[in-house]
Amino acid sequence: MRDLMEIRQQIDEIDQKMLSLFKQRMRCSADVAEYKRGTGKAIYDPVRERQKIDVLTKDETETIIKKSVEEMFLQMMSISRRYQYSLLSQEDAYIDGTFEEVDSLDINENTKVVYQGIPGAYQEQAMVQYFGENVKNFSVPEFKDVVKTLDRGEADYGVLPIENTSAGTVSGIYDMILDYDICVVGEESVDVRHVFAALPGSSLEQIEKVYSHPQGLMQCKGFLDEHPEWEQVKVANTAISAKKVADDGKNTKAAICSERAAKMYGLQILKREVNDEGNNTTRFVIMSKKKQYRKDAGKVSISFSVPHESGSLYNILTHFMFNNVSMSNIESRPLPGRKWEYGFYVDVIGNLNDPAIRNALAGIKEETKDFKILGNF
């Protein structure tokens, strides 16, 4: 049996030779990047890479060795590509040709903002927190109406919910942003503190019906379970529930809504903070047709799709690791009409002017389908 120290010494010598050859290979990769700089050829050539792997593994009969060789060279080619992107990313015109860097968003006395719902909705509260009480605004019935209004140029900014700490991602919002020529330019978080409100002079003992959005009813389940005799009625949003109770004028009806909505429609608050979780926050995105990002923006949101193949998503996400970019969120969805293909929405920390962000996005853009920067905010 060979001595362990002797074996380790031999491995160390092999590793040094591999390191020297790897550095030589990376220098060749730099030369390839220079060639592609002059010819405009794409860095990623999957056909060439597959042919290379087939040549390297064709004579291997042992499965574990064959798979290991394939994995090693796939990773080496991936590293080479990322190195080439780092050499060429500053010349990528996609970001500079699509987005404008600004000191601040163009918000003035003529700015118009659209949101979904009616006055008193949490969407309206997010709008007020971001733009102030005096901003010109109007509302539309559905989420999709917000993006359609922006796309037609009938408003400067729009507000939509994107995520809730207890309910998760708001379904369909990412797809709406993707389907229209708009981008995310800001975000605002609103603490969701539901109140139980009724007509002035009402009491809990008189209540027979409770109105709210389905999420509002769900988020207050503990409180509502204490009163099984109450009929629960679902409406489009929490502000509509407050308006309905006010309009109906009956002491037997109550609403689960925001304190802002209760005051706006002249209701009396019978109980505050009736939601089960105290830490309940909804994140809203501010959207615009103008492709702008602030110099101090700190989050980039992108979308892309990859085929349903082993390691495909991993290989894309390594662009963030290689460039030391932190990922803060990832969502996935199946692509309609494209069997076993998935779309991904990813948020990362950074600014479109950061070299690391540009480098990572250059690689992802070239190696995925349907790539789009949804915004920097």
Q: In angstroms, how far is the first alpha carbon of the chain from the final one?
A: 62
Active-site choice (149, 282, 318, 368): 282
Provide the 10 A C-beta neighbour count for residue 161: 23
Active-site choice (196, 284, 304, 322): 284
| Vertex 101 angle, CA 97 and 107, to 5° | 125
C-alpha pair distances (Å), 118 with each of 16, 133, 141: 68, 15, 8
Catalytic residue check, 169: no
Catalytic residue check, 284: yes
Q: What is the SS3 assignment for 103-137?
A: CCCCCCCCCEEEEECCCCCHHHHHHHHHHCCCCEE
Q: Please, which residues have CB within 8 angstroms of residue 307's CB and are 6 or more apart in sequence?
A: 340, 341
CB 276 within 8 A of CB 220: yes
Torsion of CA 334, 322, 76, 32, to 10 degrees: 100
CA–CA dist 336, 66 (Å, integer): 36
CB 116 within 8 A of CB 158: no
- Identify which of 295, 309, 299 has the alpha carbon closest to the alpha carbon of residue 353: 295
Q: What is the SS3 assignment for 262-324?
A: HHHCCCEEEECCCCCCCCCEEEEEEEECCCEEECCCCEEEEEEEEECCCCHHHHHHHHHHHCC
3 state SS of 342: strand
Q: Which single residue is written with the structure tokens 């990528």? A: 92
CB 116 within 8 A of CB 256: no
- Identify which of 135, 131, 158, 136 has the alpha carbon closest to the alpha carbon of residue 147: 158
CA–CA dist 122, 81 (Å, integer): 46
Active site residues: 282, 284
